[in-house]
Amino acid sequence: MTEEDRTAGVGEWVGLAVLVLPCVLASMDMSVMFVALPSLTADLKPSSSELLWIMDAYGFLLAGLLITMGTLGDRIGRRRVLLAGAAAFGAASVLAAYSTSSGTLIAARALLGIAGSTLAPSTLSLIRNMFHDAKQRATAVGVWTAGFAGGAVLGPIIGGLLLEHFWWGSVFLINVPVMVLLLVLGPLLLPEYRDPRPGRFDLLGAALSLVAVLGVIYGVKLMAEHGFGWVPLAYCAAGLAVGAAFLRRQRVAANPVIDLALFRTRRFNVPLLIDALATFGLVGYSLFNWQFMQLVLGMGPFESALWSLPTFLVMPLGIALATAIAPRIGKPNVIAAGLLVAAVGYAMLTLIQAGSGIGYLVSALTVVAIGIGGVSAVVTDVILSAAPPERAGMASAMAETSAEFGGALGIAILGSIGTAVYRSELAAKAPDALTPKELEAARDTLGGAVDTAATLPKGTAEALRNVAFDAFAREMRIASVVSVVLMAGAAILIATLLRTARTRPGSEAPESAAEHNGRDQAGDLHSTATSS
């Protein structure tokens, strides 16, 4: 029996549980800050600029270094990079928890981002090497996806519970015991894997990829905050220019950071695009969910976090369903079906009104979560399967980077469209009794409208709130329409381009021996087309 024919045993599944834990924490660290922000702001008293960097330093460094860390794991060992990242993540968590100044906390968040960038590509690429059987690997990727998604949802809930009893630094200290557990169990349960012929590491290429990703994501973030303008466009243009230089270097480098040959296959590049589009809608629309629950419906952060639990609880259902039916109907059809299910959820949100209850919002978001959960798991499995084992770290990093870009663009584009709709509606329908200063504050954001209404006489305040809530609901409906169109378009894209790619074996990446021998012919992209 060859290595590729071997099925995973108990040891591999226990190892998977160990791999999922750091992914949950890395995802939690991005969402828990929303809950801890008021407490740490009162304690550290950061400036507005420092506050933004406290929030963003983690995500920026994580997104910028994913490709570098994924490729580094391929070269020096994925377990080695994972364990080094876990040790750094634990140490940076302690530094963040006991920070006594904004500068220290910003530095700690940056270190957490650097360490966090090792976790996703290392864990996912190790899954690629631990689970050679296509069906088992699909299940393992589904569990990994659920863990990553669950961390984002559990972050505000666990953070809220901790802050009721402890100081804000406690939300960081929960990372430490898990990372210690990973450092103890990792060497015992996780195999080491590296490219047997890695060549020299392209340090300049890695630096170019970091600058390119940071430039574009920072520019997109500025657009989300301030709208389109010359400054954010300049950052995006600079990032794209550096990205072009990076790609030129990859074409001629003896040992490139990324394997551009993979991008010439639809089996790799189309799923990457679908991953970005799915994240575009999911992350972009989260801008509206939380504001609707907290400002329109009047919930507190912890209560709104609890209401987000149903979306987390049903996501494993979508993942399990997609994984189960993929061998029967083919992965492109499963991905397309998941996107259409998500489109149905967004279509429900095109009918939302200011008077819609929490039940309607959660029902629609639950439908979206079922669809996107299945899409994310299967798409990630397709991307991993398209890359040869020695490039699994790079492929994992590209999958995560495409998701980061999709989320950033979703926030920027849906946020910009929504803001324009909200401001237009409020300017046209605001009460005449408002002063120009009050009108400007109310037009700025929904939160500004609520705060302004709190200072006004009862009748005027009620009128302003009604107008602002209706304008925000219209903002959500427009964003929902955009999301429906994107999901439907992505479904058509995956169902046509990827199915076409299956009929052209020359355009596909090398398959594993298990796939080539037909162990999963009904579920494998290439084998399904051949048998039909």
Q: Write out pLDDT tens, residues 117-163.
A: 888 778 877 887 777 777 777 788 877 777 777 777 777 777 777 77
Q: What is the DSSP letter of 261?
A: G
pTM of the model: 0.73
Q: How far apart are CA 212 and CA 232, in angstroms?
A: 14
Report whether pLDDT(531) > 80.
no
pLDDT score, position 367: 92
Between 18-22, 266-270, 387-391, the lowest mean confidence (pLDDT) is in 387-391
| Res. 273 pLDDT band, cuts 50 70 90 | confident
Report whether pLDDT(342) > 70.
yes
Report whether pLDDT(364) > 60.
yes
Packing angle, helices 134-163 and 358-386, rounded to 10:
140
CA torsion sign for 428, 431, 433, 435 is negative
Q: What is the DSSP letter of 190?
A: -
Report whether pLDDT(99) > 80.
yes
- H-helix or E-strand containing 359? helix 358-386
pLDDT score, position 63: 75
- H-helix or E-strand containing 6? none
| Res. 509 pLDDT band, cuts 50 70 90 | very low
The angle subtended at Cα 410 by Cα 317 and Cα 35, nearest 5°, is 70
pLDDT score, position 199: 65
Report whether pLDDT(213) > 90.
no
Q: How deeply is 202 buried, as exposed, middle or buried, from its count of CB atoms within 10 A (0-12, 13-18, 19+)?
A: buried
pLDDT score, position 439: 84
| Res. 217 pLDDT band, cuts 50 70 90 | confident
Q: How far, in Å, are 152, 414, 468 from residue 286 at the CA level?
A: 11, 10, 19
Q: How far apart are CA 78 and CA 221, in angstroms?
A: 31
Nearest residue to 106 via CA among 66, 59, 69, 153 = 59
- H-helix or E-strand containing 465? helix 458-493
pLDDT score, position 520: 37
Percent of the chain clearing pLDDT 90 (strictly above): 7
pLDDT score, position 92: 92
Q: How far, in Å, are 137, 318, 415 from residue 151 at the CA level?
A: 21, 17, 24
| Res. 512 pLDDT band, cuts 50 70 90 | very low
- Which of helix, strand or coil describes residue 191? coil
CB 86 within 8 A of CB 119: yes
pLDDT score, position 159: 77
Q: How far apart are CA 55 and CA 260, in angstroms?
A: 33
The tokens describing 405, both together, are 């870009």
Average pLDDT estimate for 452-469: 87
Q: How far is C-alpha 153 from the geometric centre of its chain's CA atoms? A: 12
Average pLDDT estimate for 330-342: 87
CB 22 within 8 A of CB 175: no
pLDDT score, position 78: 80
Report whether pLDDT(514) > 50.
no
Q: How far apart are CA 338 and CA 347, in angstroms?
A: 14
The backbone region for 433, taken as left when phi is positive above 0, alpha when psi lies in -120 to 50, beta otherwise, is alpha
Q: How far apart are CA 363 and CA 157, in angstroms?
A: 20
Average pLDDT estimate for 396-412: 76
Choose from 121-125, 129-133, 414-418, 434-438 the range with maximum mean pLDDT: 434-438
Residue type, 202: D
The single residue listed with the structure tokens 């220290």 is 104
CB-side neighbour CA atoms (13 Å) of 77: 10
Task: Name the average pLDDT for the chain.
Answer: 78
Percent of the chain clearing pLDDT 70 (strictly above): 86
pLDDT score, position 390: 65
335 or 34: whose pLDDT is higher?
Answer: 335
Report whether pLDDT(257) > 90.
no
The single residue listed with the structure tokens 């828990």 is 32
pLDDT score, position 227: 66
Report whether pLDDT(351) > 90.
yes
Report whether pLDDT(524) > 60.
no
| Res. 360 pLDDT band, cuts 50 70 90 | very high
Average pLDDT estimate for 357-377: 88
Average pLDDT estimate for 228-235: 82
Q: How far, in Å, are 92, 112, 114, 232 from residue 58 at the CA level?
A: 11, 6, 8, 20
Q: How far apart are CA 114 and CA 60, in angstroms?
A: 9
Q: Which residues contact 359 (CB under 8 A, 6 or more apart)?
A: none
Nearest residue to 62 via CA among 3, 18, 121 = 121
Report whether pLDDT(347) > 90.
yes
| Res. 343 pLDDT band, cuts 50 70 90 | very high
Chain segment 377-395, per-residue pLDDT in tens: 788 888 877 777 667 667 7
Q: How far apart are CA 332 and CA 350, in angstroms?
A: 27
Report whether pLDDT(86) > 50.
yes
